Structure 1
Amino acid sequence: MARVRRCKANGCFNMVELPKRYCVKHADQERVYVPRDKQATHRYNTVTRNRDDNKRGQYNFYRTKQWVNLRQRVLDEQHYLCQYCKCDGVVKQGKTVDHIVPVEASPNDKADIANLAVTCSRCHTLKTKWEQSYYGTGKDNQLKHVSPVRSIAMINKLMKGKNNGN
């Protein structure tokens, strides 16, 4: 007798034979497995992510025991809640611990717990785009000499465009 499992579609209780995940009715949801392109991954890690010694050092910091402990401490202290959504009065779970002032702009504050905040994926994306325009961080950008913004509430206003009446 073949091994079976329940269809992965929400609310569907049909049984399917392994290794399939969806029944005939929901077969269009089945994704084709595409193996990773190892050369592309290697190229990204060596050319893009670790493009110079400075970037390599920044990336390696996130692989240290110090960062793991700092990250967990911040998550616990801020109760896994996005600090940027919290400024808007919204309670939303966040799993990413982000530097308020980016490491590229202030390398001495990378291990400062006061420079860390929990953020949800949406706010992290918005903040990254804002950092690229304000600080000039990111690939192919030139770092600008601007005063760092350390207030989460102010960054929230700036990154969501609330300072101009939107």
Structure 2
Amino acid sequence: MPRVRRCRQLGCHAMVTFPDHYCQQHYEHEAEYLASRQRWSRGNDKQYTHKYNTITRYRNEDKRQQYSFYRTRQWSHLRQQVLERDHYLCAYCKVQGVITLAKTVDHVVPIEFDETLKANVDNLAVICGKCHRAKTEFEQKYYGTGQGNELKHVTPITDIPSIVVLMNEQSI
């Protein structure tokens, strides 16, 4: 069944098949609408990307080196190896008895805490978006990672079931 949506013309309730935005009666507005969207995205995307990269991602030289690792061929191969090893299933959900498809590969012990483990396959696991957000929160509290935090001197936790328990305790 094709995806449909309402015509963008005010007061018109006709249904339009995706990817169009206007019905046959108001189709003359389609090109103008698409051009305005392109103008907006060109103008705003650069500002957002620049701000994100300079303020958040590359805020200092250590962060710049950490994120440059994710653009290497080595990371690409490691990531693919882990995805295939874990069958594209979130390791953190699997511990809780839930099957969730995922494409993100995460460091169990964050590289901000221990740089030596960044290319270690045993320190990598597939993670879904929901678990990734919870784990990032956990890492910020436990390890002191993240912007504005100071790294703590704690024992790294490499066991995924233990991390899941701590993540769940924290969210309560």
TM-score (normalised: structure 1): 0.80
Relative to total residues, which structure has the larger helix share, 1 or 2? 2
**Aligned-pair RMSD on alpha carbons?**
2.8
Match of 2:80 among 72, 87, 92: 72
1:115 maps to which residue?
Answer: 123
Gaps of 5+ in 1: 1-5, 24-31
Could you tell me how far apart the structure 1 residues matched to 2:150 and 2:23 are?
48
- Answering whether residue 21 of structure 2 is matched by residue 20 of structure 1, we say yes
- Answering whether residue 98 of structure 2 is matched by residue 90 of structure 1, we say yes
Letter in 1 for 2:101: Q
Letter in 1 for 2:87: H
| Distance apart, 1:37 and its partner CA | 4.0
Deviating more after overlay: 89-98 vs 37-46: 37-46
Aligned residue pairs: how many? 150
Give 3-state SS (helix, strand or coil) of 2:4's partner. Answer: coil
Give 3-state SS (helix, strand or coil) of 1:160's partner. Answer: helix
Could you tell me how far apart the structure 2 residues matched to 1:16 and 1:124 are?
35
Would the alpha carbon gap of residues 22 and 85 (structure 1) be closer, same or farther in structure 2, given more than 3 Å must change? Answer: farther
Cα offsets for 1:45-93 (capped at 9, x unmatched)? 1222111111000000000000000000000010001111111111111
| Distance apart, 1:16 and its partner CA | 4.8
Would the alpha carbon gap of residues 19 and 136 (structure 1) be closer, same or farther in structure 2, given more than 3 Å must change? Answer: same
Gaps of 5+ in 2: 6-14, 25-35
Determine what percentage of the aligned residue pairs are the same residue.
49
Match of 2:4 among 5, 8, 16: 8
Would the alpha carbon gap of residues 16 and 56 (structure 1) be closer, same or farther in structure 2, given more than 3 Å must change? Answer: same
Cα offsets for 1:113-159 (capped at 9, x unmatched)? 00000011100000000000000000111011100000000000000
TM-score (normalised: structure 2): 0.77
